[in-house]
Structure 1
Amino acid sequence: MTKGPIRLDVSINYGVPRKGLPAANSFRKWVAAALEGRIREADLAIRVVDNKEGRSLNRHYRGRDYATNVLSFPADMPEGLPEGVRLPLLGDLVICAPVVGREAREQKKALNDHYAHLTVHGTLHLLGWDHEDEREAECMEQLEREILASLGIADPYTED
Structure 2
Amino acid sequence: MAVVDRQVAVDANTLPSEAELADWIDRVLAHHPAETRHEVTVRLVDVSESQALNRDYRGKDTPTNVLSFPFEAPPEVPIPLLGDLVICHAVVAQEAQQQHKPLAQHYAHMVIHGTLHLLGYDHIEDDEAEVMEKMERDILAGLEIPDPYLES
TM-score (norm 1): 0.89
The offset of 1:150, in angstroms, is 0.8
Mean alpha-carbon deviation: is it higher for 13-22 or for 134-143?
13-22
Q: Are residues 1:115 and 2:111 paired?
A: no
2:6 alignment counterpart: 12
Show the 5 A alignment for 1:6-155: 7-38=1-32, 39-78=35-74, 81=76, 86-155=78-147
Aligned AA for 2:51?
A: R
Instruction: Provide runs of 4+ in structure 1 moved above 6 Å.
Output: none
1:3 alignment counterpart: none
Provide the C-alpha distance between the structure 1 equivalents of 2:136 and 2:88, rounded to a whole number of angstroms: 20
Question: For 2:86, what is the secondary structure of its paired residue?
Answer: strand
Provide the C-alpha distance between the structure 1 equivalents of 2:54 and 2:19, rounded to a whole number of angstroms: 26
Question: For 1:116, what is the secondary structure of its paired residue?
Answer: helix
The offset of 1:97, in angstroms, is 0.4
The offset of 1:86, in angstroms, is 4.4
Superposition RMSD on alpha carbons, in Å? Answer: 1.4
Which consecutive unaligned segments of at least 5 residues does structure 2 have? Answer: none
Provide the C-alpha distance between the structure 1 equivalents of 2:8 and 2:70, rounded to a whole number of angstroms: 20
The offset of 1:120, in angstroms, is 0.1
Provide the C-alpha distance between the structure 2 equivalents of 1:131 and 1:35, rounded to a whole number of angstroms: 19
The offset of 1:77, in angstroms, is 2.2
Q: Deviations over 1:42-79 (max 9, x none)?
A: 1110000000000001011111100000000000122x
